[in-house]
Amino acid sequence: MLFFRTTSHELLRARYNSLLKDVPVAIFMAMSALSIQMLVLKDSVDWKLAIAGPAFRMLICAGMLLYWFRHRNEHPPTHAIHRRLDIGSCILIFAGLVTFWRSLYIYPLTDNFGHYYLIFHNTLYGFCFAFILRKIGTAAYLYNLVMITSAIACVFIGHIEHAYLIALLIVVFEVGMLLAMHASGTVFDQWVNATYETQALLKDNQRLANQDVLTQLPNRRQFFVQVEQELILARQTSQCFAVGILDLDNFKPVNDVHGHHIGDLVLVEVGKRLAQIRPDEVRFYRLGGDEFAFHLVTDDEHASLRQIAYEINQAISQPISIDGLRMVIKASMGACIVCDQQTSAQTLYEHADFALYHVKRTERGNLEIYSDTLEKERQQLNRIDQALRAADIHAELFPVFQPIIDIDTGEVGAFESLARWRSPTLGDVSPALFIPVAESLGMIADITKLMFRRAIHSMSHWPEDMRLSFNLSAYDVTNQAVIEDLISIMQTSHLRAGRFVFEITETALLQDFETARENIKRLRQAGAKVALDDFGTGYSSLSHVQHLPLDKLKIDRSFIKDIETNTTSQTIVRSILALCQGMHMECVAEGAETESQVRFLQAMGCQWVQGYYFAKPMPEAEIQAYLGHAPTPIA
């Protein structure tokens, strides 16, 4: 620009918009002043100077006013604003120069009143117009200088009494005017800058409020907002709409082993991969931790949803290399689809989350779509939740015991204590159902300690060399207070500590491996034994054996059920038996239900077996009778 210089486009536009309001006022004042000038000078100078000149300038003002009226509501681009301000600045400077020349030309032709009028006229023009149009920048100051100079010149070229005092008065007011113009312009600029900074902060805060800082994906808040909007659109177009939630199956060990920094980098990489999957069809969100969500329009046959799930797993399961580490991450997914029924974003999320909960318990790494079957299961869990909240656990929960048998001798070496719940409203409830609910309700610690005391009471009537295997939940293993309470209960029982075997699962270890390891050490320091249950089904089983002070491994029943025909299961069982022998640990095979399975295990060199072939879990009252009729050794 020639007269208005700024590097801020926002400030440029703000000044332009402000001038749009001031320009008609300035034009109206100019036309009014020209009309008065014609009345004052019509008898003093030639009509061409008194009437024609001002009239021509009034026509120019009228044209400018018409141009302003036509363009007052426009929002021109920055380059157009530059051009218009340049033109306006040039017109203002040119008008000041014309007024300067005209005043000096007609000043000698007027009488004493005309002299004072011209001085007063130019001074007011210099003050008022420059102040009104101050946002135009440098041109306003130049116009002011020209008009005040012409007024002072008129003071000295005439025979004005006390000319120096009048000139001094004009200069004093001029200084005040310049200071006021500068201060007003500075305050306006500061206000504009502060306004735009505030708007920028608001936009940034809005972005942060709706975006996950780590992955740059939209966040949980934005997920629910968008799902509600998409649901409305789907209803209007009669389309099926799906919401999915995915959870990284083996992400927690990454944090535990490599630290949260590496874990964050893994999440960032996962976020990038998800964002690249069909961005025009599906949108991904990070809900928190290692949980992500997505939604899309799908078909009632679920084909597009299943294809998206396949592409998600393909993208995520590609190896991730960070700081020389190579990791493979997989995901489990739960989804819910609605086609015509009314529902909310929260309901869709809850159903998809339950589908995810189900697939993580049954078949990790796959997609589970919410169905009527899952709805019945969810309602059942809700009933269990309500019943457990109201339950008298001392009256309704009790232990049962399943023997662990020495195949070669037929002797009972130990009993595993298993919790049972007989609800007055629901009947017998499987521990596979009520234990997770008890954990979510924060009741599991009380149940664990209650079952342990009752198991010890039963154990006190067993032969002195018979052991008790007792299961610990994920919460128990990672809670130091619970472990210390169990040790205290064990010690006050006055039973030999070596007869106690605490069983933990690899899933429990994943909750907090370091804390679990410390608590296992506490149990062993107290004299108890520790067994790793369901061995072979968890994450990185061998690393757990290597880094944990274990006394026993229990082979998961999934390897026993088809051991006679499945060569892979046979290989795994042989490997586990060899591992236990090499590390001087006991090994128990769970889930033996037939004589042929037991014989197969015996041929492999397995000594300890547990399963329905020998006995189902029995109440305390039946143990003595069972011990009196011990199983016959397998010949």
Averages of pLDDT over each 10 residues, the chain, 635 residues: 58 76 79 78 73 80 80 79 79 80 78 77 76 76 81 79 80 80 77 74 68 86 89 83 89 76 88 90 90 87 86 89 83 88 86 89 83 88 91 94 92 94 92 88 92 94 93 90 95 93 82 84 94 71 72 89 88 90 90 91 92 92 85 62
Separation between Cα atoms, residue 48 and residue 105, nearest integer Å: 13
Label residue 616 exposed, middle or buried (CB < 10 Å: 0-12, 13-18, 19+).
Answer: exposed
What are the angstrom distances between the C-alpha of 4 and each of 186, 318, 354? 14, 57, 64
Query: Phi/psi class of residue 513: alpha, beta or left (left: φ > 0; alpha: ψ in -120 to 50)?
Result: alpha
pLDDT number for residue 126: 72
pLDDT number for residue 406: 92
Side chain identity at 160, as an amino acid letter? I
Label residue 175 exposed, middle or buried (CB < 10 Å: 0-12, 13-18, 19+).
Answer: exposed
Tell me the residue ranges of DSSP E strands in 450-542. Answer: 467-471, 500-505, 529-535
Separation between Cα atoms, residue 41 and residue 53, nearest integer Å: 11
Q: Which residues contact 220 (CB under 8 A, 6 or more apart)?
A: 285, 286, 287, 288, 293
Separation between Cα atoms, residue 179 and residue 184, nearest integer Å: 8
Side chain identity at 177, as an amino acid letter? M
Rg (CA), the chain: 44
pLDDT number for residue 153: 81
Q: Is 346 helix (H, G, I), strand (E, B) or coil?
A: helix
Report pTM: 0.61
Q: Is 421 helix (H, G, I), strand (E, B) or coil?
A: strand
What are the angstrom distances between the C-alpha of 274 and each of 118, 182, 407? 76, 55, 52
pLDDT number for residue 470: 96
What are the angstrom distances between the C-alpha of 125 and each of 100, 245, 322? 11, 71, 72
145 alpha-carbon distance from chain centroid: 59
Separation between Cα atoms, residue 448 and residue 452, nearest integer Å: 6
Contacts made by residues 279-286, CB under 8 angstroms, sequence distance 24+: 281/308, 282/308, 283/218, 283/226, 284/217, 284/218, 285/212, 285/217, 285/218, 285/219, 285/220, 285/222, 285/223, 285/226, 286/212, 286/214, 286/215, 286/217, 286/218, 286/219, 286/220
Q: Which residues contact 536 (CB under 8 A, 6 or more apart)?
A: 555, 556, 558, 559, 572, 576
Residue with tokens 């009509």: 47
What are the angstrom distances between the C-alpha of 599 and each of 125, 535, 580? 115, 21, 20
For residue 68, give the nearest of 77, 60, 56 by alpha carbon. Answer: 60
Separation between Cα atoms, residue 33 and residue 41, nearest integer Å: 12
Residues 327-376 have pLDDT tens digits of: 888 889 999 998 877 788 899 999 999 999 888 877 778 888 998 888 88
317 alpha-carbon distance from chain centroid: 22
